[in-house]
Chains A and B, each alone.
Chain A
Amino acid sequence: METQLIIAGQQIRSRFFLGTGKFASYQIMKQAIISSGAHIVTVALRRIDPQAKEENILEYIPKDCIVMANTSGARNAEEAIRIARLARALGCGRWIKIEVIPDNKYLLPDNAQTIYAAEVLAKEGFIVMPYVNPDLADARRLRDAGAASIMPLGAPIGTNKGLALRELIKILIEEIELPIVVDAGIGRPSHAAQAMEIGAAAVLVNTAVATSDDPVSAARAFSLAVEAGRLAFESGLSPIRESAQASSPLTGFLR
């Protein structure tokens, strides 16, 4: 039986978090949320385009989900704080994924600016979920700033490269008592399972699901992999060995 994930005192039903970007339609996104059983879903905040006649995405997110706004588009702490406050004013609660990205090629986060934004937003009562490079000293600073979890990238956003930063993420899992959520770069269910097997608390996927041919099935596949990986972690698997070890008895041979 899998242990419950608790973040900021709240029980989270699924260790699979789903991003809502890049889906062909909000209807498909909704079906993917349902098929995966995701409890936490992320959204972004943008200027409205009156010509586009966009629908309200919130109408397509099941009411029992936690809507976590991200601060995408922010290039520094000040912009992230501004976006977080606007998101809260929209009335979807206090969960915020702090994402400060000054670089357009690799979309790598700026840890220093993220830490500053985390300090400010945690004091304002936000449940702060910072997206960061997996650095132990910075993760400690974020913990001290009041972050509810740490969300290191597995690989750059949208690359589907998997756990490129595996060893550094492992260190965060071992050393930081907060839930570690691997966010970005997870491109295959096997990557998600690997993250969970090393003890990640959860995994956040968007691109790999949304841009697959069948996002509803892909979402379910990732969600199952997350569950399998978690169960494997909790079952305490035996170590990997260099030489063979027989699984059948080595006595009573018919020779």
Chain B
Amino acid sequence: MKARVNGEEVLLTEETSMAAIIARRKINPQAVVVEYNGVILTREKFDSVVLKENDALEIVAFVGGG
């Protein structure tokens, strides 16, 4: 199954929840916000959302900026 995470295609071999994607990348869920197919996903939904073919994720965080 293919999905896009931050613009890059990733292959997922099994059903993967949003929480698992976050955990696998060692990301602190409190420090990021996720956009799931163009819709902002609140942290409470990370466990219940399971990725489907062609889903698109953006995982973003604050960085230094002017």
Residue positions of A touching B, CB distance < 8 A: 19-23, 26, 29, 42-48, 50, 53-54, 56-58, 67, 69-70, 72, 82, 85-87, 89-90, 92, 157, 184, 204, 206-207, 210
Contact = CB atoms under 8 A, between A and B. Distances in A.
Nearest to B59: A48
B66 A54 contact: no
Closest 9 CB pairs of A and B: A44-B65, A19-B66, A206-B66, A20-B64, A50-B25, A56-B31, A47-B6, A21-B64, A43-B62
B35 to A, nearest CB: 6
**Majority secondary structure, B binding face:** mixed
A47 B58 contact: yes
B64 A48 contact: no
Given A48-B60, A86-B33, A90-B33, A56 B28 contact: yes
Interface of B: 6-7, 25-28, 30-33, 35, 40, 42, 58-66
A67 to B, nearest CB: 8
Contacts of A20: 64-66
Contacts of B28: 56
A19 B66 CA distance: 4
A16 B59 CA distance: 32
B65 A72 contact: yes
A216 to B, nearest CB: 15
Contacts of B31: 56, 58
B6 A42 contact: no
Nearest to A18: B66
Given A48-B32, A90-B33, A57 B62 contact: yes
